[in-house]
Amino acid sequence: MISNCPLIKLDRSEQSNLSFNTVMEPYDTIRDDLAREMFTNIRILCWIMTAPKNHWKKARHVKNTWGKRCNKLIFVSTETDSRLPTVKVAAVEGYNNLWGKTREAFRYIWEHYREEADWFLKADDDSFVILENLRYYLSIFNTSDPLYFGHKFKAYIKSGYMQGGSGYVLSKEALRRFVEIGLQDPTKCSTTEWPEDVEIGRCMENLKCKGMDTRDSYGRDRFLPVSLPIHLTLGIAEDTWLWDMHPSYYQIERGFDCCSDTAIGFHQLTPSDMYLYDYLIYRVNPYGVNDVRSEIQSRPHPPPDVKLQEPAFPGPSAADLIWLEELKKRERTELDRFSQTESENYSEENFQDNNK
């Protein structure tokens, strides 16, 4: 018989009957003073790349889950939608036009929101980001330095570039250089439509912005470029291109050694995955199991990854360029197939607001 056990009241909000406009206050999931302090002092603007057909299908689920923990949340699209809301940019939808959309998004953010945030996160509408871990990681850096962060791929650019799926982050100085210098000079930031994550990486290199190593001190990734089950279950999962083609700047481990205890960015989530991750990360507390978060909270700053050394990378090889071209074709084929399926299944009835 258990006696004299005090009841613990958790800081939770009712999440039933989720609608397009369901957004919890950011502190609903912040239960300790350090996380609250970081929310105030390490301000992150999140902008989400989306498209009109995905406002209801994908983007709203970002808003209902991890997006509420951003200091400022913006959805960038080519159509206005007050229910998210979106920022409309002058661009053409489509995979081949994402770079133009990205340029206009960052320009708009710099012009309208640069005083409201210290760091600027770009993510997709199938990304999931643990904002507390991102703030914890960024707390040792100065946003006045020209820095950017993410999962580093090695081809095309000598210093590598941050793969876009799990998100990438620009410091305020990196964003300033991008908008005020790069967008004014096509020799530094091209207007040619290439994959946006490659082009932002090329801009960052030309603008002398340093792409940081975001692994933890054990070499485990914080930004995960493919679906988490693929990282964890290699040998079971069918999609093994990340290991077969070796696109990453650093060696990627397999199984449970793949990922940091302070992981930040995840990719390729379905809408139902968003709620599953949100529930497991923020609501489940195994009874009697040591919580590593208490250890993290006791340290005012995360240790720098001093054990890791930058590899000497001479630039993309001919083989790198060949497989990347194959990967690019594959991604476009899969995107076209997905878009066709989505278009066939999509109807205006699915776009009704639950509040009506």
Weakest-pLDDT range from 30-39, 73-82, 124-133, 155-164? 30-39
pTM for the whole structure = 0.74
Instruction: Give the whole-angstrom CA distance, residue 87 versus residue 78.
Output: 8
| First-to-last C-alpha distance (Å) of the chain | 50
Pairing of strands 210-211, 147-149: parallel
Q: What percent of the chain has pLDDT over 90?
A: 43
* Inter-axis angle of helices 196-206 and 172-180, nearest 10: 90
Instruction: Give the whole-angstrom CA distance, residue 200 versus residue 162.
Output: 8
Task: Domains for the chain: give ranges and CATH numbers.
Answer: 30-284+299-339 (3.90.550)
Q: How many CB atoms lie within 10 A of CB 325?
A: 11
Q: How many CB atoms lie within 10 A of CB 341?
A: 10
Give me the mean pLDDT over the 16-42 stretch.
60
Give me the helices (H) in the chain, please. 33-41, 60-64, 98-113, 131-138, 172-180, 196-206, 228-232, 241-244, 271-282, 292-297, 318-345
Instruction: Give the whole-angstrom CA distance, residue 60 versus residue 126.
Output: 11
The token pair that represents 287 in the structure block: 């009874």
DSSP annotation of 237 reads B
Do residues 201 and 162 lie in contact, with contact meaning Cβ atoms separated by under 8 Å? yes
Which one is predicted more confidently, 109 or 221?
109
Paired with 268 in beta bridges are none
195-216 pLDDT, tens digit per residue, is 888 999 999 999 999 999 888 8
Question: Exposure pattern of 122-157 as b/e (b: 16+ CB <10 Å)?
Answer: bbbbbbbbbbbbbbbbbeebebeebbbbbbbbbbbb
pLDDT of residue 77: 94
**For the residues of 23-77, what is the DSSP string, one character each?**
---GGGG--SHHHHHHHHHS-EEEEEE--GGGIIIIIHHHHHTGGGGSSEEEEEE
100-136 pLDDT, tens digit per residue, is 899 999 999 999 999 999 999 999 999 999 999 999 9
Q: Which residues contact 100 (CB under 8 A, 6 or more apart)?
A: 91, 92, 191, 193
Which one is predicted more confidently, 170 or 310?
170
Spacing of C-alpha 246 from chain mean position? 21
Which one is predicted more confidently, 104 or 160?
104
236-258 pLDDT, tens digit per residue, is 455 565 555 556 777 777 788 88
Element containing residue 170 per DSSP (H, E): strand 168-171
273-309 pLDDT, tens digit per residue, is 999 999 999 888 887 776 555 545 444 344 444 344 4
The token pair that represents 9 in the structure block: 């009241």
